Amino acid sequence: MSSTTVPPARSGFSLSEYIICLNGIVWREALRFLHQRERFISALVRPLVWLFIFAAGFRQVLGISIIPPYETYILYEVYIAPGLMAMIQLFNGMQSSLSMVYDREMGNMRTLLVSPLPRGYLLFCKLLAGTAVSLLQVYAFLIIAWFWDIAPPTIVYLTVLPALVLSGLMLGALGMLISASIKQLENFAGVMNFVIFPMFFASSALYPLWRVQEGSPMLYYVCQCNPFTHAVELIRFALYGKMNWVSLAVVGGCTLVFMIGAILAYDPSRGLVRRGPGGGEA
Looking at residue 259, its pLDDT comes to 92
Model confidence at 281, in pLDDT bands (50, 70, 90)?
A: very low
More confident residue, 244 or 194: 244
Model confidence at 61, in pLDDT bands (50, 70, 90)?
A: low
Model confidence at 21: pLDDT above 60? yes
Q: Could you tell me the pTM of the whole model? A: 0.82
Query: How far is residue 209's CA from residue 212's CA, in Å, rounded to a whole number?
Result: 5
Q: Which of 91-100, 104-113, 122-131 has the weakest average pLDDT?
A: 104-113
Looking at residue 254, its pLDDT comes to 95
Query: How far is residue 81's CA from residue 171's CA, in Å, rounded to a whole number?
Result: 18
Q: Dump pLDDT digits (tens) for 157-188.
A: 888 999 999 999 999 999 888 887 777 666 66
More confident residue, 190 or 126: 126
Residues of the chain with pLDDT > 70: what percent?
78
Looking at residue 121, its pLDDT comes to 82
Whether 273 and 282 have beta carbons less than 8 Å apart is answered as: yes
Average pLDDT, the chain: 79
The angle formed by the CA atoms of residues 136, 123 and 25, to the nearest 5 degrees, is: 55
Whether 88 and 47 have beta carbons less than 8 Å apart is answered as: yes
